[in-house]
Structures are given as C-alpha cells and as structure tokens.
Structure 1
Amino acid sequence: MLKKVRVQIVTDRFEAKGSLYETPAGKLLPTPLQDMPAKEDIEHMEMTVEASYHDDGDRVCIRYKESELSGMEGSVTSVSFRKSEPALISMLRDGSVKTALVFEPAARHLCVYQTQIMPFEVCIYTRSVKNCIEENGTLEMDYTVELRGAQAEHTAFSMRVLPVFDKPISK
C-alpha cells in the first residue's frame, strides 16, 4: 500500500558532554537528565511535510523532502523499519546531503555522512526507540550523534504521521 500522508517532525538538540568515540563500549555518556542544558541552549525544530507512506506487508517506509528549516534542503529522507524488528530504524538521506543512519536501542553504530565536500564518519548511540507507527502513527527516538572530531549532540526526535492525505498515490 502506498499513500500520501503528512508528517510532523519535532526535534530538540543540544550539545552532549563526552565523546562516543572515546567512551568504551558498554559505557554510556551521561543521560539527558543529568546533562540537560538551559532551555535557551536547546535547538528546537518543528516541521510538517507531505510524505509517502509505503507498507509492503514486511517493511514500512516513510519518505519526505527535507526543507530549508532542517538545513538539508534538496535532500530526500526515508525512515524505514521491518515489521518484525520495529525498534531497528534506518534513516537514509539522498540529495545535497547523503547519510545512512541506523538507530537501535542500547547500540552504537558507525555510519556515514556524505557532504558535497567529503564524507564523514558518524557515531550514533541510541538510548531508546518507541515505534508506534502502525498503532497510532508515532515514532520517538532518543539518541546521541557525533561526527569524528566534533562535539557530540543529543537529539530527541519525534515523528507523527497525520492521516490527512490517506488516498493511495496514483501511478
């Protein structure tokens, strides 16, 4: 099934203390509650975009165009998961920015962030994934991301599928 939907994305980001690269496997950076900055130091972003929602019976994929607001205008993002593993999320971006990111609770993944200048290695540690896309249209992820050599950043990400454009996309 392929249909048009609207997707609301909300992120809250702030600099995290420590380094995912320098933290031994099995050890964690401080939790967000221990590390919470002042409200003015949190970067808050909300956007609502038109998207395609594809459910082939095994995998769900939500695909949308990034906007200027996200800083990745010209890129298309796909968020997908297998129904048998709803807590294992893949996020692929293609266009002006290219990434292949993996989010899995309590796991650290090395990924790639490709810019027009050069690729960067990215380390992601996901604290939690709450995937209720099939039940009520929501996905929440809590993770830390770090480009090698840059400050680690904590992100609380939420996506909500809005059931407004629920007609199948014509071919």
Structure 2
Amino acid sequence: MKPVLIAITGTQQLAGEKPESIQLVTEGSYCCEPGFIRFSYVESEMTGMEGVVTSFTVEDEQKLTLRRVGKVNSEMVFVQGQRHESLYDAGMAALLVGVELQELTVLLNEHGGILDFSYAIDVERSACGTNRYHIEIREA
C-alpha cells in the first residue's frame, strides 16, 4: 500500500428529490496488482462517520466491493446485472440494504486514476434512490 490523495464526490438522489452532493479530499492508501486494486481512507466528521475505515476493492474491473469498518459496519458488492443485499450496522440498529450497480467505469493503474460508479439503493426492500461516486486518486 502506498500513500495517495483521494478526491471523492458523492451524489445521492432520493426518490422525488433533488440530488445532493458532498465532496471530500483525504489521504489514503492504494495498492494496484494485476486484476486487483484496493484503496482505503479514514472517514472524517464531514461524512458523519468519523474514524470509520472505508475501503474499495476492484477485481478484474468488473466487481467492486465497498467496505466500512468502525462505528458503522457494512459491505456492499457491486456486479453488473446482480442485486446484492447486506446488513448496514450502525451500532444501535442494523438495516437490510440492497444495491444494484447501474454504471461502473474503472480507469485505474499503478499511479492512481479514476473510479466512477452509480447504483440504485433500497432499505428493507423499499426503493430509496440512487447514489453516484466519482473518485480520483493520485500519488501523494
């Protein structure tokens, strides 16, 4: 793992509402091997998950896993054409969260690059809306 700067723009659009975006630039770690890329960072107060470690793993540019560990624990798996369910554990309660990948663009190499993805999300099998991430990674 090598040190990197990670710039994230996350956009959430709840059903029937205008999209809301949040931007974050943070230091993180990055590893690129043939068929496998992983990067991680520690969440800040700005995201409401201070201290939570968030990691993204890309396998063969087709499977993306978003994992959070800390006061919030979750693992979301994104594969085109598949719906994935997991528990989102926020300490006081756990919710069943379903995600379905809509778009995945992986432009990453050993120096960093860009990861774009969007997905539909539901909670307890009730549709909530869509989320989109644009992530830029560069060597620190």
If the length of structure 2 is used for normalisation, what is the TM-score?
Answer: 0.89
Structure 1 residue runs of 4+, over 4 Å off?
A: none
Give the match's secondary structure for 1:69.
Answer: helix
Cα distance in 2, alignment partners of residues 69 and 133 from structure 1: 26
| CA shift for structure 1 position 69 | 1.6
Give the match's secondary structure for 2:49.
Answer: coil
1:137-166 deviation per Cα after TM superposition (whole angstroms, max 9, x unaligned): 100001111211665121111111022x1x
Q: In the alignment, which residue of structure 1 is the partner of 2:25?
A: 48
Structure having the higher Rg? 1
Q: In the alignment, which residue of structure 1 is the partner of 2:101?
A: 126
Q: In the alignment, which residue of structure 2 is the partner of 1:102?
A: 77
1:56-101 deviation per Cα after TM superposition (whole angstroms, max 9, x unaligned): 444211010011222211200010122xx21210011000111110
Structure 2 gap segments, 5+ residues each: none
Q: In the alignment, which residue of structure 2 is the partner of 1:22?
A: none
Is 2:118 aligned against 1:142? yes
Cα distance in 2, alignment partners of residues 15 and 45 from structure 1: 14
Greater helix fraction, Structure 1 or Structure 2: 1
Higher relative contact order (CA 8 A, sep 6+): 1
If the length of structure 1 is used for normalisation, what is the TM-score?
Answer: 0.74
Greater strand fraction, Structure 1 or Structure 2: 2
Q: In the alignment, which residue of structure 2 is the partner of 1:153?
A: 129
Structure 1 gap segments, 5+ residues each: 18-36, 166-171
CA RMSD of superposed structures (Å) = 1.9
Cα distance in 1, alignment partners of residues 127 and 87 from structure 2: 16
